[in-house]
Structure 1
Amino acid sequence: MSDAMLHAVNQDPDDFAVQIADSIESFIVAVTEVAKGDEPDSAVPFLLLEVSQLLLTGGRLGAHEDIVPDERYEPDTGPEPDVDDLRERFGRMLEPVDVFSEVFDPYEPRKAPVAFRISDNIADIVTDLRHGLAHYRSGRTTEALWWWQFSYFSNWGPTASATLRALQSLVSHVRLDQPLAALDGLDTDEDLAEEALAEEAGRVMAEEIAAPLGLHSP
Protein backbone atom coordinates (compact mmCIF):
# COMPACT_ATOMS: atom_id res chain seq x y z
CA MET A 1 0.00 0.00 0.00
CA SER A 2 1.36 3.43 -0.93
CA ASP A 3 2.21 6.13 1.61
CA ALA A 4 -0.60 8.26 0.19
CA MET A 5 -3.17 5.52 0.77
CA LEU A 6 -1.87 4.81 4.26
CA HIS A 7 -2.17 8.51 5.03
CA ALA A 8 -5.76 8.53 3.79
CA VAL A 9 -6.67 5.49 5.87
CA ASN A 10 -5.01 6.62 9.09
CA GLN A 11 -5.73 10.34 8.95
CA ASP A 12 -7.53 11.95 11.88
CA PRO A 13 -11.26 11.71 11.05
CA ASP A 14 -11.98 15.33 11.95
CA ASP A 15 -9.19 16.72 9.75
CA PHE A 16 -10.15 14.36 6.94
CA ALA A 17 -13.80 15.43 7.15
CA VAL A 18 -12.92 19.13 7.03
CA GLN A 19 -10.76 18.64 3.94
CA ILE A 20 -13.39 16.55 2.16
CA ALA A 21 -16.19 18.97 3.05
CA ASP A 22 -14.15 21.98 1.93
CA SER A 23 -13.38 20.35 -1.40
CA ILE A 24 -17.00 19.37 -1.98
CA GLU A 25 -18.33 22.79 -1.05
CA SER A 26 -15.74 24.40 -3.32
CA PHE A 27 -16.95 22.26 -6.23
CA ILE A 28 -20.59 23.20 -5.65
CA VAL A 29 -19.77 26.91 -5.42
CA ALA A 30 -17.58 26.76 -8.54
CA VAL A 31 -20.04 24.96 -10.82
CA THR A 32 -22.86 27.20 -9.62
CA GLU A 33 -20.81 30.21 -10.66
CA VAL A 34 -20.00 28.66 -14.05
CA ALA A 35 -23.70 27.97 -14.60
CA LYS A 36 -24.50 31.69 -14.25
CA GLY A 37 -23.03 32.09 -17.73
CA ASP A 38 -20.90 35.15 -17.01
CA GLU A 39 -17.98 33.52 -18.86
CA PRO A 40 -19.58 31.00 -21.24
CA ASP A 41 -16.46 30.75 -23.39
CA SER A 42 -14.58 29.28 -20.43
CA ALA A 43 -17.29 26.87 -19.26
CA VAL A 44 -15.74 23.65 -20.58
CA PRO A 45 -12.19 24.32 -19.32
CA PHE A 46 -13.54 25.37 -15.91
CA LEU A 47 -15.70 22.25 -15.66
CA LEU A 48 -12.76 20.08 -16.71
CA LEU A 49 -10.71 21.53 -13.85
CA GLU A 50 -13.47 21.32 -11.23
CA VAL A 51 -14.53 17.76 -12.04
CA SER A 52 -10.88 16.66 -12.04
CA GLN A 53 -10.37 18.14 -8.59
CA LEU A 54 -13.58 16.58 -7.30
CA LEU A 55 -12.45 13.14 -8.44
CA LEU A 56 -9.28 13.55 -6.39
CA THR A 57 -11.55 14.01 -3.38
CA GLY A 58 -13.51 10.96 -4.46
CA GLY A 59 -10.29 8.98 -4.74
CA ARG A 60 -9.43 9.87 -1.15
CA LEU A 61 -12.85 8.66 -0.04
CA GLY A 62 -12.44 5.50 -2.08
CA ALA A 63 -9.01 4.76 -0.60
CA HIS A 64 -10.28 5.29 2.95
CA GLU A 65 -11.43 2.33 4.99
CA ASP A 66 -15.19 1.76 5.07
CA ILE A 67 -16.90 4.53 7.01
CA VAL A 68 -19.67 3.26 9.28
CA PRO A 69 -22.43 5.73 10.25
CA ASP A 70 -23.21 6.34 13.91
CA GLU A 71 -26.90 5.55 13.52
CA ARG A 72 -28.60 2.51 12.04
CA TYR A 73 -30.98 4.61 9.97
CA GLU A 74 -30.00 7.72 8.07
CA PRO A 75 -31.39 10.88 9.70
CA ASP A 76 -33.73 12.99 7.59
CA THR A 77 -31.97 15.94 5.98
CA GLY A 78 -35.16 17.64 4.84
CA PRO A 79 -36.17 18.42 1.26
CA GLU A 80 -33.45 18.25 -1.37
CA PRO A 81 -32.56 21.63 -2.90
CA ASP A 82 -33.82 22.01 -6.46
CA VAL A 83 -31.16 21.62 -9.16
CA ASP A 84 -33.40 22.08 -12.21
CA ASP A 85 -32.19 25.64 -12.77
CA LEU A 86 -28.56 24.47 -12.69
CA ARG A 87 -29.38 21.63 -15.08
CA GLU A 88 -31.20 23.90 -17.52
CA ARG A 89 -28.50 26.56 -17.49
CA PHE A 90 -25.81 24.03 -18.35
CA GLY A 91 -28.10 22.43 -20.92
CA ARG A 92 -28.42 25.74 -22.77
CA MET A 93 -24.75 26.62 -22.38
CA LEU A 94 -23.48 23.25 -23.62
CA GLU A 95 -26.26 22.58 -26.14
CA PRO A 96 -23.95 21.79 -29.10
CA VAL A 97 -22.04 19.14 -27.14
CA ASP A 98 -24.18 18.32 -24.11
CA VAL A 99 -25.02 14.75 -25.15
CA PHE A 100 -22.26 12.16 -25.17
CA SER A 101 -22.02 8.37 -25.16
CA GLU A 102 -20.46 6.32 -22.38
CA VAL A 103 -20.00 2.67 -21.48
CA PHE A 104 -21.43 2.63 -17.97
CA ASP A 105 -19.52 -0.41 -16.71
CA PRO A 106 -16.28 -1.18 -18.59
CA TYR A 107 -16.08 -4.62 -16.96
CA GLU A 108 -19.45 -5.76 -18.23
CA PRO A 109 -18.78 -7.69 -21.49
CA ARG A 110 -19.99 -6.13 -24.74
CA LYS A 111 -21.90 -3.40 -22.96
CA ALA A 112 -23.41 -0.99 -25.50
CA PRO A 113 -22.73 2.74 -25.08
CA VAL A 114 -25.44 4.75 -23.35
CA ALA A 115 -26.29 8.39 -24.03
CA PHE A 116 -25.80 10.90 -21.20
CA ARG A 117 -25.89 14.66 -20.83
CA ILE A 118 -23.14 16.67 -19.16
CA SER A 119 -25.80 19.00 -17.77
CA ASP A 120 -27.73 16.12 -16.18
CA ASN A 121 -24.56 14.64 -14.74
CA ILE A 122 -23.40 17.88 -13.13
CA ALA A 123 -26.82 18.39 -11.55
CA ASP A 124 -26.91 14.81 -10.26
CA ILE A 125 -23.42 15.13 -8.76
CA VAL A 126 -24.38 18.35 -6.99
CA THR A 127 -27.50 16.68 -5.57
CA ASP A 128 -25.44 13.86 -4.05
CA LEU A 129 -22.83 16.20 -2.64
CA ARG A 130 -25.39 18.59 -1.14
CA HIS A 131 -27.08 15.69 0.63
CA GLY A 132 -23.85 14.91 2.46
CA LEU A 133 -23.27 18.59 3.20
CA ALA A 134 -26.65 18.74 4.92
CA HIS A 135 -25.45 16.05 7.34
CA TYR A 136 -22.10 17.77 7.79
CA ARG A 137 -23.61 21.18 8.54
CA SER A 138 -25.93 19.55 11.07
CA GLY A 139 -22.94 18.19 12.96
CA ARG A 140 -23.32 14.61 11.70
CA THR A 141 -19.76 14.32 10.43
CA THR A 142 -19.58 10.54 10.28
CA GLU A 143 -22.93 10.38 8.52
CA ALA A 144 -21.70 12.90 5.96
CA LEU A 145 -18.51 10.97 5.29
CA TRP A 146 -20.43 7.72 5.04
CA TRP A 147 -22.84 9.24 2.52
CA TRP A 148 -20.11 10.81 0.40
CA GLN A 149 -18.15 7.56 0.35
CA PHE A 150 -21.18 5.38 -0.37
CA SER A 151 -22.52 7.66 -3.11
CA TYR A 152 -19.02 8.01 -4.59
CA PHE A 153 -19.03 4.27 -5.25
CA SER A 154 -22.69 4.04 -6.23
CA ASN A 155 -23.43 7.21 -8.18
CA TRP A 156 -21.48 10.45 -8.21
CA GLY A 157 -18.09 8.80 -8.70
CA PRO A 158 -19.00 6.95 -11.91
CA THR A 159 -21.02 9.96 -13.07
CA ALA A 160 -18.13 12.36 -12.50
CA SER A 161 -15.70 9.97 -14.20
CA ALA A 162 -17.92 9.77 -17.29
CA THR A 163 -18.32 13.55 -17.32
CA LEU A 164 -14.58 14.06 -17.03
CA ARG A 165 -13.95 11.81 -20.03
CA ALA A 166 -16.47 13.80 -22.07
CA LEU A 167 -14.97 17.16 -21.08
CA GLN A 168 -11.42 15.96 -21.66
CA SER A 169 -12.45 14.63 -25.07
CA LEU A 170 -13.93 18.00 -26.03
CA VAL A 171 -10.77 19.84 -25.10
CA SER A 172 -8.56 17.26 -26.81
CA HIS A 173 -10.50 17.35 -30.09
CA VAL A 174 -10.07 21.10 -30.31
CA ARG A 175 -6.49 21.35 -29.08
CA LEU A 176 -5.38 18.54 -31.39
CA ASP A 177 -7.34 20.06 -34.29
CA GLN A 178 -9.33 16.88 -34.84
CA PRO A 179 -12.94 16.67 -36.08
CA LEU A 180 -15.47 16.01 -33.35
CA ALA A 181 -18.15 13.36 -33.73
CA ALA A 182 -21.46 15.06 -32.92
CA LEU A 183 -24.39 12.87 -31.90
CA ASP A 184 -26.96 14.78 -33.93
CA GLY A 185 -30.45 13.96 -32.79
CA LEU A 186 -29.28 11.53 -30.13
CA ASP A 187 -31.57 11.60 -27.12
CA THR A 188 -30.69 10.30 -23.67
CA ASP A 189 -34.10 8.62 -23.54
CA GLU A 190 -33.18 6.37 -26.45
CA ASP A 191 -31.65 2.93 -25.92
CA LEU A 192 -29.33 2.63 -28.89
CA ALA A 193 -26.90 -0.11 -29.76
CA GLU A 194 -23.34 0.67 -30.78
CA GLU A 195 -24.20 0.43 -34.48
CA ALA A 196 -27.09 2.86 -34.06
CA LEU A 197 -24.83 5.31 -32.25
CA ALA A 198 -22.41 5.16 -35.16
CA GLU A 199 -25.23 5.90 -37.61
CA GLU A 200 -26.38 8.84 -35.47
CA ALA A 201 -22.92 10.37 -35.27
CA GLY A 202 -22.44 13.32 -37.60
CA ARG A 203 -19.20 15.06 -38.39
CA VAL A 204 -18.53 18.68 -37.46
CA MET A 205 -15.24 20.50 -37.61
CA ALA A 206 -13.55 21.42 -34.35
CA GLU A 207 -13.44 25.10 -35.21
CA GLU A 208 -17.24 25.21 -35.34
CA ILE A 209 -17.46 24.55 -31.61
CA ALA A 210 -14.16 26.08 -30.53
CA ALA A 211 -15.39 29.67 -30.35
CA PRO A 212 -18.56 29.14 -28.27
CA LEU A 213 -16.66 26.84 -25.91
CA GLY A 214 -13.68 29.13 -25.53
CA LEU A 215 -11.28 26.51 -26.87
CA HIS A 216 -8.72 27.45 -29.47
CA SER A 217 -6.18 25.44 -31.37
CA PRO A 218 -2.56 26.46 -30.70
Structure 2
Amino acid sequence: MSDADTATATVEGQVRSAERAAYTDSPDDFAVQICDQVESFILAVTEVAKGDDPDSAVPYLLLEVSQLMLAGGRLGAHEDILPEERYEPDIGPEADVDELRERLAKLLEPVDVYSEVFDPYVPRSTPVACRISDDLADVLTDLRHGMAHYRAGRVSEALWWWQFSYLSNWGPTASAALRALQSLVAHVRLNTPLADLDGLDTDDDADGDDVELERAAGAVMAAEIGAPLGIKPRRRQGS
Protein backbone atom coordinates (compact mmCIF):
# COMPACT_ATOMS: atom_id res chain seq x y z
CA MET A 1 0.00 0.00 0.00
CA SER A 2 1.38 3.42 -0.97
CA ASP A 3 1.81 6.29 1.48
CA ALA A 4 -1.14 8.05 -0.15
CA ASP A 5 -3.37 4.99 0.26
CA THR A 6 -2.29 4.64 3.87
CA ALA A 7 -3.05 8.29 4.59
CA THR A 8 -6.45 8.01 2.92
CA ALA A 9 -7.31 4.89 4.90
CA THR A 10 -6.24 6.61 8.12
CA VAL A 11 -8.44 9.64 7.45
CA GLU A 12 -11.41 7.45 6.54
CA GLY A 13 -10.93 5.46 9.71
CA GLN A 14 -10.82 8.60 11.83
CA VAL A 15 -14.00 9.95 10.23
CA ARG A 16 -15.84 6.69 10.76
CA SER A 17 -14.64 6.47 14.36
CA ALA A 18 -15.80 10.01 15.08
CA GLU A 19 -19.22 9.45 13.54
CA ARG A 20 -19.59 6.10 15.28
CA ALA A 21 -18.75 7.67 18.63
CA ALA A 22 -21.18 10.53 18.07
CA TYR A 23 -24.01 8.17 17.16
CA THR A 24 -23.27 5.80 20.04
CA ASP A 25 -23.03 8.54 22.64
CA SER A 26 -26.05 10.51 21.49
CA PRO A 27 -28.07 8.79 18.76
CA ASP A 28 -31.06 11.03 19.37
CA ASP A 29 -29.00 14.16 18.70
CA PHE A 30 -27.63 12.70 15.47
CA ALA A 31 -31.11 11.75 14.30
CA VAL A 32 -32.56 15.15 15.19
CA GLN A 33 -29.78 16.97 13.34
CA ILE A 34 -30.24 14.90 10.19
CA CYS A 35 -34.01 15.27 10.38
CA ASP A 36 -33.72 19.05 10.79
CA GLN A 37 -31.54 19.33 7.69
CA VAL A 38 -33.82 17.09 5.67
CA GLU A 39 -36.94 18.95 6.74
CA SER A 40 -35.31 22.31 6.03
CA PHE A 41 -34.52 21.19 2.48
CA ILE A 42 -38.02 19.87 1.86
CA LEU A 43 -39.64 23.09 3.07
CA ALA A 44 -37.19 25.33 1.21
CA VAL A 45 -37.53 23.62 -2.17
CA THR A 46 -41.31 23.51 -1.81
CA GLU A 47 -41.28 27.24 -1.10
CA VAL A 48 -39.00 28.03 -4.05
CA ALA A 49 -41.25 26.02 -6.37
CA LYS A 50 -44.14 28.38 -5.60
CA GLY A 51 -42.35 30.94 -7.76
CA ASP A 52 -42.93 33.90 -5.46
CA ASP A 53 -39.30 35.05 -5.80
CA PRO A 54 -38.02 33.74 -9.15
CA ASP A 55 -35.00 36.06 -9.22
CA SER A 56 -33.50 34.31 -6.19
CA ALA A 57 -34.39 30.73 -7.17
CA VAL A 58 -30.98 29.55 -8.38
CA PRO A 59 -28.85 31.08 -5.58
CA TYR A 60 -31.34 29.84 -2.99
CA LEU A 61 -31.40 26.31 -4.42
CA LEU A 62 -27.59 26.30 -4.52
CA LEU A 63 -27.52 27.10 -0.81
CA GLU A 64 -30.15 24.53 0.14
CA VAL A 65 -28.64 21.67 -1.88
CA SER A 66 -25.19 22.49 -0.46
CA GLN A 67 -26.55 22.27 3.08
CA LEU A 68 -28.35 19.01 2.32
CA MET A 69 -25.12 17.47 1.07
CA LEU A 70 -23.62 18.05 4.52
CA ALA A 71 -26.29 15.79 6.00
CA GLY A 72 -25.64 13.31 3.21
CA GLY A 73 -21.92 13.38 3.88
CA ARG A 74 -22.51 12.56 7.53
CA LEU A 75 -24.78 9.68 6.60
CA GLY A 76 -22.30 8.41 4.04
CA ALA A 77 -19.36 8.54 6.47
CA HIS A 78 -21.38 6.84 9.20
CA GLU A 79 -21.17 3.12 9.82
CA ASP A 80 -24.07 1.12 8.41
CA ILE A 81 -27.29 1.98 10.22
CA LEU A 82 -29.50 -1.04 10.87
CA PRO A 83 -33.28 -0.68 11.29
CA GLU A 84 -34.99 -2.33 14.22
CA GLU A 85 -37.44 -4.27 12.07
CA ARG A 86 -36.42 -6.86 9.49
CA TYR A 87 -38.91 -5.64 6.90
CA GLU A 88 -39.67 -2.03 6.13
CA PRO A 89 -43.09 -0.98 7.49
CA ASP A 90 -45.60 0.39 4.99
CA ILE A 91 -45.76 4.18 4.98
CA GLY A 92 -48.80 4.41 2.72
CA PRO A 93 -49.00 6.16 -0.66
CA GLU A 94 -46.11 8.40 -1.67
CA ALA A 95 -46.84 12.11 -2.03
CA ASP A 96 -47.12 13.24 -5.65
CA VAL A 97 -44.26 15.52 -6.72
CA ASP A 98 -45.30 16.04 -10.35
CA GLU A 99 -46.75 19.49 -9.70
CA LEU A 100 -43.60 20.57 -7.87
CA ARG A 101 -41.47 19.15 -10.68
CA GLU A 102 -43.43 21.10 -13.30
CA ARG A 103 -43.25 24.33 -11.33
CA LEU A 104 -39.49 24.02 -10.92
CA ALA A 105 -39.08 23.25 -14.62
CA LYS A 106 -41.03 26.37 -15.55
CA LEU A 107 -39.11 28.44 -13.01
CA LEU A 108 -35.69 27.28 -14.23
CA GLU A 109 -36.39 27.37 -17.97
CA PRO A 110 -34.22 27.56 -20.11
CA VAL A 111 -31.32 26.57 -17.80
CA ASP A 112 -33.08 23.51 -16.39
CA VAL A 113 -31.35 21.03 -18.72
CA TYR A 114 -27.68 20.23 -18.16
CA SER A 115 -25.12 17.56 -19.08
CA GLU A 116 -24.01 14.96 -16.54
CA VAL A 117 -21.78 11.88 -16.41
CA PHE A 118 -23.65 9.18 -14.50
CA ASP A 119 -20.58 7.53 -12.97
CA PRO A 120 -17.21 9.33 -13.16
CA TYR A 121 -15.39 6.04 -12.50
CA VAL A 122 -16.75 4.34 -15.61
CA PRO A 123 -14.14 4.83 -18.38
CA ARG A 124 -15.25 6.99 -21.29
CA SER A 125 -18.72 7.53 -19.88
CA THR A 126 -21.08 9.31 -22.25
CA PRO A 127 -22.67 12.47 -20.82
CA VAL A 128 -26.43 12.36 -20.54
CA ALA A 129 -29.00 15.13 -20.45
CA CYS A 130 -30.57 15.78 -17.04
CA ARG A 131 -32.93 18.33 -15.55
CA ILE A 132 -32.43 20.16 -12.27
CA SER A 133 -36.20 20.07 -11.74
CA ASP A 134 -36.28 16.27 -12.12
CA ASP A 135 -33.32 15.89 -9.77
CA LEU A 136 -34.82 18.00 -7.01
CA ALA A 137 -38.20 16.27 -7.26
CA ASP A 138 -36.53 12.84 -7.07
CA VAL A 139 -34.48 13.89 -4.04
CA LEU A 140 -37.62 15.17 -2.32
CA THR A 141 -39.34 11.83 -2.90
CA ASP A 142 -36.54 9.94 -1.14
CA LEU A 143 -36.34 12.41 1.73
CA ARG A 144 -40.10 12.45 2.31
CA HIS A 145 -40.10 8.65 2.41
CA GLY A 146 -37.65 8.69 5.30
CA MET A 147 -39.47 11.56 6.97
CA ALA A 148 -42.66 9.48 7.06
CA HIS A 149 -40.81 6.86 9.10
CA TYR A 150 -39.33 9.51 11.38
CA ARG A 151 -42.68 11.14 12.12
CA ALA A 152 -44.15 7.71 12.85
CA GLY A 153 -41.52 7.25 15.55
CA ARG A 154 -39.39 4.80 13.55
CA VAL A 155 -36.13 6.73 13.93
CA SER A 156 -33.74 3.91 13.04
CA GLU A 157 -35.85 3.09 9.98
CA ALA A 158 -35.70 6.73 8.87
CA LEU A 159 -31.95 6.93 9.33
CA TRP A 160 -31.45 3.62 7.52
CA TRP A 161 -33.56 4.79 4.59
CA TRP A 162 -31.86 8.18 4.33
CA GLN A 163 -28.43 6.54 4.45
CA PHE A 164 -29.29 3.80 1.95
CA SER A 165 -31.00 6.15 -0.51
CA TYR A 166 -28.17 8.68 -0.13
CA LEU A 167 -25.70 6.07 -1.34
CA SER A 168 -27.98 4.64 -4.03
CA ASN A 169 -30.00 7.57 -5.37
CA TRP A 170 -30.50 10.96 -3.79
CA GLY A 171 -26.81 11.48 -3.00
CA PRO A 172 -25.53 11.27 -6.58
CA THR A 173 -28.68 13.00 -7.85
CA ALA A 174 -28.28 15.95 -5.47
CA SER A 175 -24.55 16.09 -6.22
CA ALA A 176 -25.26 16.39 -9.94
CA ALA A 177 -27.83 19.14 -9.35
CA LEU A 178 -25.37 20.93 -7.07
CA ARG A 179 -22.70 20.96 -9.77
CA ALA A 180 -25.21 22.35 -12.27
CA LEU A 181 -26.40 25.07 -9.90
CA GLN A 182 -22.84 26.00 -8.93
CA SER A 183 -21.91 26.20 -12.60
CA LEU A 184 -24.81 28.55 -13.32
CA VAL A 185 -23.80 30.89 -10.50
CA ALA A 186 -20.15 30.69 -11.58
CA HIS A 187 -21.04 31.67 -15.16
CA VAL A 188 -22.81 34.75 -13.84
CA ARG A 189 -20.18 35.64 -11.26
CA LEU A 190 -17.36 35.32 -13.78
CA ASN A 191 -19.44 36.91 -16.53
CA THR A 192 -18.76 34.04 -18.92
CA PRO A 193 -21.25 32.75 -21.50
CA LEU A 194 -22.68 29.27 -21.38
CA ALA A 195 -20.90 26.68 -23.48
CA ASP A 196 -22.52 25.43 -26.67
CA LEU A 197 -25.47 23.33 -25.53
CA ASP A 198 -25.39 21.25 -28.73
CA GLY A 199 -29.15 20.85 -28.77
CA LEU A 200 -29.07 19.29 -25.31
CA ASP A 201 -32.50 18.17 -24.20
CA THR A 202 -33.88 15.22 -22.30
CA ASP A 203 -36.79 14.86 -24.71
CA ASP A 204 -35.83 16.19 -28.14
CA ASP A 205 -33.05 15.41 -30.60
CA ALA A 206 -30.45 17.98 -31.56
CA ASP A 207 -31.67 20.75 -33.85
CA GLY A 208 -30.39 23.99 -35.31
CA ASP A 209 -31.40 26.24 -32.43
CA ASP A 210 -28.20 25.81 -30.38
CA VAL A 211 -27.01 29.40 -30.66
CA GLU A 212 -30.42 30.87 -29.91
CA LEU A 213 -30.87 28.55 -26.92
CA GLU A 214 -27.46 29.56 -25.59
CA ARG A 215 -28.27 33.24 -25.94
CA ALA A 216 -31.64 32.79 -24.26
CA ALA A 217 -30.09 30.91 -21.36
CA GLY A 218 -27.40 33.55 -20.95
CA ALA A 219 -29.97 36.34 -20.96
CA VAL A 220 -32.07 34.63 -18.31
CA MET A 221 -29.02 33.99 -16.14
CA ALA A 222 -27.89 37.61 -16.37
CA ALA A 223 -31.34 39.02 -15.64
CA GLU A 224 -32.68 36.58 -13.06
CA ILE A 225 -29.56 35.29 -11.33
CA GLY A 226 -27.17 38.20 -11.66
CA ALA A 227 -29.39 40.78 -9.99
CA PRO A 228 -29.82 38.92 -6.67
CA LEU A 229 -26.06 38.32 -6.59
CA GLY A 230 -25.35 42.01 -7.10
CA ILE A 231 -23.72 41.47 -10.49
CA LYS A 232 -23.95 44.15 -13.15
CA PRO A 233 -23.69 43.25 -16.84
CA ARG A 234 -20.26 43.95 -18.31
CA ARG A 235 -20.28 46.78 -20.83
CA ARG A 236 -19.27 45.95 -24.36
CA GLN A 237 -16.02 47.48 -25.51
CA GLY A 238 -16.55 50.70 -27.37
CA SER A 239 -20.01 51.35 -25.87
Shared topology, TM-score over 0.5?
A: yes
1:123 is aligned to 137
Q: Whole-Å Cα distance in 2 between the matches of residues 108 and 82 of structure 1?
A: 33
Query: How far did residue 187 of structure 1 move?
Result: 2.5
2:224 is aligned to 212
Among 148, 170, 183, which residue is 2:184 paired with? 170
Query: How far did residue 161 of structure 1 move?
Result: 0.3
Query: How far did residue 10 of structure 1 move?
Result: 1.5
Given that 1:96 and 1:209 are in contact with CA atoms closer than 8 Å, whether structure 2 keeps it comes out as no
Query: How far did residue 73 of structure 1 move?
Result: 1.1
Among 77, 86, 92, which residue is 2:100 paired with? 86
Identity percentage of aligned residues: 68
Runs of at least 5 residues in structure 1 that lack an aligned partner in the other structure: none
Query: How far did residue 9 of structure 1 move?
Result: 1.9
Q: Whole-Å Cα distance in 2 between the matches of residues 98 and 86 of structure 1?
A: 14
1:151 is aligned to 165
CA 1:67–1:200: 2 relative to 1, 3 Å:
farther
Aligned positions of 1:1-218 closer than 5 A: 1=10, 5-11=16-22, 12-181=26-195, 183=197, 185-189=199-203, 202=211, 203-204=214-215, 206-213=218-225, 214=227, 215=229, 217=231
The secondary structure found in structure 2 opposite 1:183 is coil
Q: Whole-Å Cα distance in 2 between the matches of residues 78 and 127 of structure 1?
A: 13
Q: Deviations over 1:39-73 (max 9, x none)?
A: 10000000000000000000000011001111111
Query: How far did residue 183 of structure 1 move?
Result: 3.1
Q: 1:109 is aligned with what amino acid?
A: P
Q: 1:114 is aligned with what amino acid?
A: V
Query: How far did residue 216 of structure 1 move?
Result: 5.1
Q: Whole-Å Cα distance in 1 between the matches of residues 166 and 145 of structure 2?
A: 12
CA 1:42–1:208: 2 relative to 1, 3 Å:
closer
Q: Whole-Å Cα distance in 2 between the matches of residues 99 and 47 of structure 1?
A: 15
Query: How far did residue 5 of structure 1 move?
Result: 4.7
CA 1:67–1:53: 2 relative to 1, 3 Å:
same
Runs of at least 5 residues in structure 2 that lack an aligned partner in the other structure: 1-9, 233-239
Query: How far did residue 181 of structure 1 move?
Result: 2.5
Q: Whole-Å Cα distance in 1 between the matches of residues 220 and 48 of structure 2?
A: 22
Q: TM-score, normalised by structure 2?
A: 0.82
CA 1:5–1:200: 2 relative to 1, 3 Å:
farther
**Higher mean C-alpha deviation, range 202-211 or range 88-97:** 202-211
Q: 1:210 is aligned with what amino acid?
A: A
The secondary structure found in structure 1 opposite 2:195 is strand
Given that 1:177 and 1:206 are in contact with CA atoms closer than 8 Å, whether structure 2 keeps it comes out as no
